[in-house]
């Protein structure tokens, strides 16, 4: 097998949570370009239809499942529908996430729980549900979307719940990787830095001073710049890699 062939995902099926917009949409397209069938997971039917139409132009087979990832039954339904459509799931990208920008003293109990439920508990439950399927099927790859915020404290906004949840995701990644490596399932994480999406006000002066000017590359990343890394982690190109966190942040965390 050639080097580039190891990145191919032809005949495999990838589930991407939160794939109706932003980074998740870019991840879905990247995996589709590598040949995978894509299960689009989100809560917005219209946005999901747009993603499906976009991927159809690549000749990709897609399935859309609308789901609330904080509900185990919904996650189990994603797996059931995916296996009905494609036979098995080979790749899970745990991308869906949420963030609240508030100082610690202002975060309510409900807000804290909301972030932990979406960013951490849903990642564990999805990994558990799909991990069991992958083990029974003979193997697979799980990619958790963490963040450089697992290692730094972002400024000028405060987001303690988000930072804590992503740090936990990184360590959960290592824990699952250790358990499941002998069973053929690899678990890795991707930790992006500041990315140019609709959800990130990177051009506002109060943020640009810290988010852009403090970064060695002096810019935010574009979602499609993460696509090759997702394909790498999902594919046989990273066959000897598990329990790792791949940071792509324009060098932000080197300071």
pLDDT tens figures, 201-214: 888 999 999 999 99
Query: 228 burial class (0-12, 13-18, 19+ CB within 10 angstroms)?
Result: middle
The Cα–Cα gap between 89 and 133 comes to: 8
Supply 242's token pair.
Answer: 């598990």
The Cα–Cα gap between 43 and 38 comes to: 16
- CA dihedral 104→176→242→71, nearest 10 degrees, is -70
Residue 117 above 90 pLDDT? yes
Residue 88 pLDDT = 98
Report pLDDT digits (tens) over 82-100. Answer: 999 999 999 999 999 999 9
Residue 146 above 90 pLDDT? yes
Split at pLDDT 50, 70, 90, the class of 198 is confident
pTM (predicted TM-score): 0.98
Q: Which residue, 125, 144, 141, 18, is CA-closest to 88?
A: 141
Asked if 108 and 39 count as a contact pair (C-beta separation under 8 A), the reply is: no
The mean pLDDT of 212-221, rounded to a whole number, is 96
Residue 36 above 90 pLDDT? yes
Would strands 37-42 and 140-145 be described as parallel, antiparallel, or unpaired? Answer: unpaired
Asked if 54 and 29 count as a contact pair (C-beta separation under 8 A), the reply is: yes
The Cα–Cα gap between 81 and 131 comes to: 16
Residue 203 pLDDT = 85
Q: Which residue, 11, 9, 46, 45, is CA-closest to 29?
A: 9
Split at pLDDT 50, 70, 90, the class of 200 is confident
- Give Dmax over CA atoms of the chain in angstroms: 55
The mean pLDDT of 36-60, rounded to a whole number, is 98
Residue 175 above 90 pLDDT? yes
Residue 199 pLDDT = 78
Cα separations (Å) of 71 from 67, 113, 117?
8, 14, 10
Query: 110 burial class (0-12, 13-18, 19+ CB within 10 angstroms)?
Result: exposed
Query: What DSSP element (H or E) covers 161?
Result: helix 160-180
Q: Which domains does the chain have, with CATH numbers?
A: 4-249 (3.40.50.720)
Q: Is 162 a catalytic residue?
A: yes
Q: What is the mean pLDDT of the chain?
A: 97
The mean pLDDT of 161-181, rounded to a whole number, is 98
């Amino acid at each position: 097998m050639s080097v580039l062939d190891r990145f191919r995902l032809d005949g495999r099926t990838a589930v991407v949570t939160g794939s109706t917009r932003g980074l998740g949409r870019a991840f879905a397209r990247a995996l589709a370009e590598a040949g995978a069938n894509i299960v689009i997971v989100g809560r917005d039917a219209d946005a999901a239809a747009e993603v499906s139409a976009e991927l159809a132009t690549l000749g990709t087979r897609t399935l859309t499942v609308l789901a609330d990832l904080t509900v185990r039954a919904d996650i189990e339904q994603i797996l059931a529908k995916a296996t009905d459509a494609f036979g098995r799931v080979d790749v899970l990208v745990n991308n869906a996430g949420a963030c609240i920008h508030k100082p610690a003293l202002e975060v309510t109990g409900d807000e804290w729980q909301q972030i932990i439920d979406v960013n951490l508990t849903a990642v564990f439950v999805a990994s558990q549900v799909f991990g069991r399927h992958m083990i029974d099927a003979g193997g697979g790859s799980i990619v958790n979307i963490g963040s450089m915020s697992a290692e730094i404290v972002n400024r000028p906004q405060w987001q303690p719940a988000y930072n804590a949840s992503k740090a936990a995701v990184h360590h959960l990644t290592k824990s699952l990787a250790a358990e499941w490596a002998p069973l053929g399932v690899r678990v890795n994480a991707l930790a992006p830095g500041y990315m140019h999406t609709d959800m990130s006000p990177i051009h506002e002066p109060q943020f640009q001073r810290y988010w852009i000017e403090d970064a060695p590359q002096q810019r935010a990343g574009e979602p499609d710049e993460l696509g090759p890394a997702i394909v790498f982690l999902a594919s046989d190109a990273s066959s000897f890699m598990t329990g790792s966190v791949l940071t792509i942040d324009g060098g932000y965390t080197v300071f």
